[in-house]
Structure 1
Amino acid sequence: MKILLINHYAGSDRMGMEYRPFYLAREWAADGHAVTVLGASFSHLRRIQPEIRADHEVTVEDGVRFRWLRTRPYQGNGSGRVVNMLTFVGKLLTDARRIAREERPDVVICSSTYPLDIYPGARIARAARARLVFEVHDLWPLTPVLLGGYSRRHPYIMMLQAAEDFACRNADRVVSILPDACGYMVGRGLEPAKFAHVPNGIPIAALQAAVPDDLPPDIAARIAEERAKGRFLVGYAGGINPSNPVEAILDGAALLAGEPVSFILVGDGSSAPELRARVGQLGLDNFHLAGPIPKWTVQRFLTEMDALSMPWRRSPLYRYGVSPNKMFDYMLAARPIVQSCDASNDLVRDAQCGITVPPEDPAAYADAIRQLIQLPQAERLRLGENGRRFVEQHHDYPIIASRFIAALGPA
């Protein structure tokens, strides 16, 4: 099968996020499919941008073929990002027939976070007589409305809503990482039989094959220092930004001050300066922002912890379910997880790998940490192994890629 996967922000292990298109394409290529990932030459999510000089240049990353359209660099979420987005979509529309003629896909997957790529994707699919698939990562525009405070009457939101509705009415298949999004999509015009759930995952073999790098000296020293104090270590690895409410971990740490537990967070983001200021104001010695670490050292860090923390905000958005990559990284590390969440699904419960408490409830979170501390070590190890077994059985990328192909149905 020839697969064209359109994702504005597509990256790779070398370039950085977004990883899902790369991991899916790598598995599909290994299974004998001819795959091309079509992305924009600039993304704020990547550490490294592809070096191209013209539209439609092709590069190869670990056996995955990428085709690029040039877009301007930008910073933040202002007008520059909108221009970058519209440039990418505009070039896709203009060059749709060329792309269809040169790629000759059997399947066109529109997979950018925002839904505007469905219009050129439909044009490419029609010209190539290919099946059209709309892949939903987050529900847009519902996510910026509920989490970003945008009005439903904002012109940008109305434009995104029109695109989502078009996708629901015209796609041959809608694949969502969110387990309970079908009802929402049906409300936007989708036929229920066209919906399929294919969750997120992680490339377990690649992670296990990577040589475990030493942790940065300052982080290794911090871990050793906290261990010397006889403290139970709770870790977090991820963004320190408004979408990840790590202040909830800080609130729990404040309630646990004076008890034998410390919290170590790796990652960075726009909320880090404010969080550091709060730590200083509270005078806590059990909460440490350790900064970002290289991707391939994350598993090493996680396995140095006694437990791992997964905070969520309370939001009606999560009634459609969640499928966070971070959760699967945590499970692979085989450490018990404390999740603060009120979603329609509960991965921690399903895996029997920890404790779930209500979001934005510091007292409940602190009590869950106390429960884990009081458990015998053998019981904590059992919870951790439950998580590892669950992710190996359900969320390894060879499994995810096969589920996606199966979800497409017969040709």
Structure 2
Amino acid sequence: MKNIDSKKNIWIFHHYATPPSMNGFTRPFDFGIKLKDYNYSTTIFAASYLHFAEQNLIEDETLYIEEDSSGLPFVFINTPGYAGSGKKRILNMLTYFRKLFKVSKEYEKTHEKPDLIIASSPHPLTMIAGIKIAKRYGIPCICEVRDFWPEVFFMGDKLKKDSIIGKILLKGEHWIYKNADGIIFLKEGDVQYLTDEGWSKPSGGDVDLSKCYYINNGVDIEKFNDQMDSEVLEDKDLKSDKFKIVYAGAIRPVNNVDNILDTANLLKEYKDIEFLIYGQGNMLEHLKRRLENENISNVKLKGYVDKRYIPYILSNSSINLLNYSQTQYNWSRGNSSNKLFEYMASGKPIISTVKMGYSPIEKYNCGLSLEGSSAKSLKDTILKIYNMPKDEYIQMGENGKKGAREFDYIELTKKLKNVIEKHINNNS
């Protein structure tokens, strides 16, 4: 048995994790780097096929590769690509799940065994693997729930809750919550889901709520501020004197970017208001056609930009726009988007097209949320900030910067460290 004061090894299973130099989710990296300050050694197990870059890091039959140029060891497991194919994406998930068992065993032969595993969704197979592999080592597994699968499919009408497949998926999901040693939810209201499903002990179920924790996504404020000053994007539109509405993110149906163009059409008479859209996705060509066919001249599609430029872009906006579909996601439990906290750190007012529960925007008075997500409602809200007295406008931005400190990864890592220590010590 290890001395609890010696260096502890954490394995994080996260399908889409990458270091900052690659295009993916950096939450595991952000935690792993800061956990070093608490004498933790973190290894991240991810898939070789990078979802957002549509690139595979392994082109042969190699089982896995190790990458540590970022200062944190990554293990990329050989998984097939899918490039927009739903069936191939499912195969990718199944392959990652299946190979996790073999890769973890092979990796452990030349490295120290883990003291704790953190297994992250969205897809539940990763959490199932985490629980089973942790049991093999006799160590705790903490499951991190980023999205509720299969709820997202129920909401999108892709699957019926009372169907055979729906019932099987719910049964598997329940098994995860029951067997995980700890559960980290990313949104403040997520724990209510267990009660809504009748799985929590207070509602007659078998899941102990005392093992549930809330640790949101966030922002590395020191890095954000450094990049804001040092990573300058040469973009004449950002430097213009116009009132700039910035959207930075994916361009997919769930992001409802069509609504931005509808709103821009309603604001054509305001020659000093301009919309700048940064990002890529399967709706981009559709938007380009709309701009041309409808002669929308107050919207600029900027395409993909490296994430290191995001702090500069956001800090040079007039309003940063959180643009979502109200119907394709359950916003009542909160928002765990990194984007929200980057928007707050930028010091510019925020508009959210959805009314979310547990909203930092309302808590810190750093922006406005729409009651309804129509183009007219968005137009009216933009004009409310556009016509706002200067001192009130500046204060709204400063409120966001102040609120972002609560979601700095320094503070979030302290919470994670406490959860990890509790479960490692209980297992000693």
- With normalisation by structure 1, the TM-score equals 0.90
Distance in 2 between the 1:47 and 1:298 partners? 21
The range that moved more, 260-269 or 96-105, is: 96-105
Cα displacement (A) at 1:63: 1.6
The CA distance in 2 between the partners of 1:41 and 1:275, in whole Å, is 31
The secondary structure found in structure 1 opposite 2:49 is coil
Instruction: Answer yes or no: is 1:110 the counterpart of 2:119.
Output: yes
Give the alignment of 1:206-217 within 5 angstroms. Answer: 206-210=223-227, 212-216=230-234
Q: CA deviation at 1:285?
A: 2.1
- Residue 410 (structure 2) pairs with residue 398 (structure 1): yes
Q: 2:19 aligns with which of 1, 7, 12?
A: 12
User: Following the alignment from structure 2 to structure 1, what is the Cα–Cα distance between the partners of residues 167 and 35?
Assistant: 35
Post-superposition Cα deviations, 1:305-326, rounded to whole Å, max 9, x if no partner, equal 1111112221362222212111
1:87 is aligned to 95
For 1:375, the equivalent position in structure 2 comes to 388
C-alpha change, 1:127 and 1:191, in structure 2 (3 Å) is same
The amino acid across from 2:236 in the alignment is A
Check whether the contact 2:238–2:313 (CA below 8 A) recurs between aligned residues.
no
Deviation readout 1:297-353 (Å, 9 max, x if unpaired) = 111111221111112221362222212111111111110111111222212111211
Q: Contact between 1:114 and 1:160, CA under 8 Å: does it hold in 2?
A: no
C-alpha deviation, 1:51, in angstroms: 5.4
Percent identity between the two aligned chains: 24
Q: Which runs of 5+ in 2 are unaligned?
A: 1-7, 200-205
Which residue is equivalent to 1:319? 332
Alignment of 1:328-347 (within 5 A): 328-347=341-360
Task: Report deviation, 1:50.
Answer: 4.1
* Distance change (3 Å), C-alpha of 1:329 and 1:354: same
C-alpha distance in 1 between matches for 2:36 and 2:221? 17
Structure 1 counterpart of 2:34, one-letter code? E
Is the CA contact (8 Å cut-off) linking 1:250 and 1:287 kept in structure 2?
A: yes
| Equivalent residues in 2 for 1:143-154, closer than 5 Å | 143-147=152-156, 149-152=158-161
SS in 2 for 1:190: coil
Task: Return closer, same or farther for 1:124/1:52 CA change in 2, 3 Å cut-off.
Answer: farther
Give 3-state SS (helix, strand or coil) of 2:230's partner: coil
Answering whether residue 259 of structure 2 is matched by residue 248 of structure 1, we say yes
* Match in the other structure for 2:47: 40
Q: Deviations over 1:235-262 (max 9, x none)?
A: 1111111121122222222222202421
1:48 is displaced (CA, Å) by 6.0
Query: For 2:120 and 2:381, how far apart are their aligned partners in 1?
Result: 37
Q: Corresponding residue for 1:65?
A: 73
Residues of 2 paired with 1:203 and 1:156: CA distance? Answer: 40
State the superposition RMSD in angstroms: 2.3
What per-residue deviation string (whole Å, max 9, x for no partner) do you get for residues 346-382 of structure 1?
1211121111112422222111111111112222111
Deviates further, 354-363 or 123-132: 354-363
Structure-2 change in CA distance of 1:190 and 1:43 (3 Å) = farther
- Matched-pair contact (CA < 8 Å) for 1:116–1:160: no
Query: Alpha-carbon deviation of 1:199?
Result: 0.3
Mapped contact 1:41–1:52 kept (Cα < 8 A): no
Contact residue 185 and residue 214 of structure 2 kept, 8 A: yes
Once residues 328 and 309 of structure 1 are traced to their aligned partners in structure 2, the CA distance between those partners, rounded to angstroms, is 12
Q: CA deviation at 1:103?
A: 4.1
State the TM-score, normalizing by the size of structure 2.
0.87
- Tell me the SS of whatever aligns to 1:355: strand
Letter in structure 1 aligned against 2:36 = A
Please give the alpha-carbon distance, in whole angstroms, between the structure 1 residues aligned to 2:313 and 2:297: 20
Tell me whether 150-159 or 190-199 shows the greater mean CA deviation: 150-159
Q: What does residue 300 of structure 2 align with?
A: 288
d(CA) in 1 for partners of 2:214, 2:321 = 26
SS class of match (2:143): strand
CA distance in 2, matches of 1:47, 1:300: 26
What is the aligned partner in structure 2 of residue 130 from structure 1?
139
Q: Distance in 1 between matches of 2:389 and 2:15?
A: 47
User: How many correspondences in the alignment?
Assistant: 403
Q: Which residue does 1:236 correspond to in 2?
A: 247
The 3 A distance-change label for structure 1 pair 61 and 25 is: farther
Is the contact made by 1:312 and 1:359 (CA closer than 8 Å) also made in structure 2?
A: no
Unaligned runs of 5+ in 1: none
Contact 1:97 1:124 in 2 (8 A): no
Inter-partner Cα distance in structure 2 for 1:332 and 1:173: 30
2:64/2:103 contact within 8 Å kept: no
CA contact (8 A) 2:14 2:119 kept: yes
Matches within 5 A, 1:259-278: 259=270, 260-278=272-290
Give 1:140's aligned residue: 149
Query: Equivalents in 2 of 1:56, 1:363: separation in Å?
Result: 51
Determine if contact 2:63/2:103 at 8 Å carries over to the other structure: no
Structure 1 SS opposite 2:84: coil
Instruction: Report the AA paired with residue 251 of structure 1.
Output: D
Distance 1:60 1:162 in 2: 38
- Aligned residue among 395, 407, 410 for 2:419: 407
